[in-house]
Structure 1
Amino acid sequence: MNKIVYLFGAGASRNALPIVDEIPDRIQELIELLKSDDLQLSNKDKYDDLTSNAPESKSHYQLELIKNLEWLLTESSNHASVDTFAKKLTIKGNRKELEKLKVALSIFFVFQQALNKPDKRYDTFFASIHNSLYRFPDNLRILSWNYDYQFELSYSEYSSQQDVSSNQSSLNVKHKYGDNDTDERFGIYKLNGTTGLYSDGGWRQYMFAPNLKVPVDLSFVDRVVRNFTAVTYFGNLYSNFSFAWERENPDKSIVDLAIKNTEDCLALVIIGYSFPFFNRDIDRKIIGAMKNLKSVYFQAPDADVLIERFKAIKDNTSEINLIPKYDTGQFVLPNEL
C-alpha cells in the first residue's frame, strides 16, 4: 500500500486553540478566571500527599500558579513568541526558568482545551480514515509539532473513553519522552512532547487533568493546582513539554522513530504548518529521509509561501508534485489515501 504521512502544525488546531499572537490575551483571561471568587481553593486544606515538600495551603499554591502565569504573560508579551523566550533561556542555561515556562504553558493549554471544544476538523478526519470501528489504516502515519490533545479529545467521541491516556493508547501516540517502540501500524508521533508530566523513574506519564471533558469548576482547578504543586516541589517530576532544539534520549529518539516510520512514504500532507526556523534541523532530517516522496499537499491560506519554505527543507523538489490547498474547511484527504 502507498504510505501517507500527515504533518500537523499549530494551524491544524486553529479553531480550538490560540495562535501565537493571541496567547497573551488568553493568558490574561485565564489569570482572571483563576482569581474569580467561585474558583478559590481553601486557605486551610493542604495536599496531604505532598506536605513533606509542599506544606502550605491549597490557596497558597493556587496563588503561586497565578504568579507563574503572570510571569509567562509578561515574558511572552516582551518577546516575538514564547519559543523565542524559551530559546533565550536555553542559551543562557537557565534550566529552572525554562522548566517554569514549560509547566505554566502546559497548564495554559490544559485550561484552553477544557474551556473550548476540539477543532471539528479532527472529528471529520477520524470519521474519514477509519477502516473499521477500531482500526486505522496501517499505511498512515501522523507527525505533529503540537503539544495539544486535539487528537485525543476528538477521538474520545469514538472510543467512549474520556481520559486522555486511554485515547493515547488507542491512537498509538508516541512522544519525545515516552518509552517508544518501533511498530508497523498507524501512529501519532508528537515531536515536541505533550502537555503532561513524566517521572524519571521509568518514564511514567501523568496528566495535569486526566479528563478535559468536564466543567472547569473548583474540583478541576484543585486537580490542576495539585499537579502543579507536585511538579514544582518534587525533584523527580518533569514537564513532558519540549522544544525542538532540546536534547532527547538517544536510545528512545522520537526523531529516529519518526524517520524509521515515514522514510518510505509516497505522499506527505502538511496541515497548518509554517516550517519555523527553530524546527528546521529536525524537519530536514525527517523530510530529507523521505526518498520515495512523489506528492506533497500544503493546506493553508498561504500555501504558496509554505511551498517556497519547503524547498529550503527538501532537495530535488523538481521531481515532486507540490500541491497547494487553500480551503481549510476540512483536513485534506489525498488521492493516495
Structure 2
Amino acid sequence: MNGVWQVIFWIAIAATALLFIPALRAMGESRKAAAALAAGDIVEARIQTAAARENGWVTFGWGAFALIALGFAVFVMMNDVAVGKTFFYLPLMQQKWWLVTKQFFLTNIFIFVVAEVLVLVWGLVVALARLMPGKAGQPIRALAILYCDIFRGLPAVVTLYLIGFGIPTSGLPEMIMPHIVGWFVDLSSMTVAEQRSLTRIPVIWWCILALTLTYGAYVAEVYRSGIESIHWSQVSAARSLGLSYMQTMRYVVVPQAVRRIIAPLLNDFIGLQKDTALVQVVGVIDAFNQSRIIAANAFNLSAVTVVAILFVIITIPQARFVDKMIERDNARMRAGG
C-alpha cells in the first residue's frame, strides 16, 4: 500500500516539473524583448514582453495549483501514510463501494427527486400567495411571509427532527390514515397489527415533507424575485385584455419569470441534494448512515469518503450546467434578447 502512495507522490512531483516549460518560454521571450528594445523595435519589444508576462502568469497559476496539490499529497502521506489509510483505504473502498452506492441511489437520490418535484410546485404556490394583490389578499400574504420567515430561519436538521419524530409520535397518522386507506381497502377483516402495518407512513416520507417545507421557503423567494423582475407594463397589458390575476400569472408572467430563475433554482436543488444526507438524524439508512455503520465496524472512514465522492460526482455536472445557463443568459442579455 505504501508503494502505491509513493508512486502517486513521485508522479505528482514529475508533473510539477512541467511548470518549467512556460517558465523557460517566459525567459526566452524576455530576452527577445530586450534584444528588440536594443535594436529600437518598440512594437516587437512590446509583443514579446506581453507574451513573457502571459507565460509568467501561467507559471504562477499552475505553480499555486501544484503547491496545493502537493500539500494535499503530503497531508495524505503523513505519519507513515496513516492519514491516507484512514480516509482512502482502497481495499475497504472497493469492497463497500457497491453497498454504499446502492443505498445512495435507493434513498438519497429518491428523496432528492421526489422532494425536488414537490418543492417546484409548492414554492410557486407560496410565491403566488405572497404576491396576492389587494386587501383581500393581505391575510394570505401574511401567512406566506410568516411561513417563509419561519422555515428559512429553521435549520433543515431541526425541521427533519421535529417532523420525522414529532408527527408520528403525536398519533395523527394513526388517526387519519385508516380513514383514507379504508376508502380503497377493507380493514374490518384485518387484525390491529395488520392495519397498523398497512396504514403506517414510512419515515422517508416525513423526511421528504420536511425538506419540501424547508426548501419550499427558499424556492418561493426565488420565484418571487423572478416574478417581480417582469416589467409591470406586461401585467397591465394582460389585465387590460380581460385576463384575471391568476390568468396573467399563468400565461404572461410566470413563463417569463421561470426562464430568468433557472440558474438560482438549480443552485437550490444542489443544496437540497446535499441535505438529503441529514435524514440519518431520524434513523433513515441512507448512504451516509450506511457508511457510518461500516466505519464503526471497520474503524476506518474510507466508506464515508465513498459517500463524499458520490455526492461530488453528482453535484459537479449540475454546477457546470448552472454555469452554462448563466453564461447563456448573460449572452442573451448582452445581445438585447
Structure with the higher strand share, 1 or 2: 1
Both structures adopt the same fold (TM-score exceeding 0.5) = no
Structure with the higher helix share, 1 or 2: 2
Q: TM-score, normalised by structure 2?
A: 0.21
- Structure with higher Rg: it is 2
Q: TM-score, normalised by structure 1?
A: 0.21
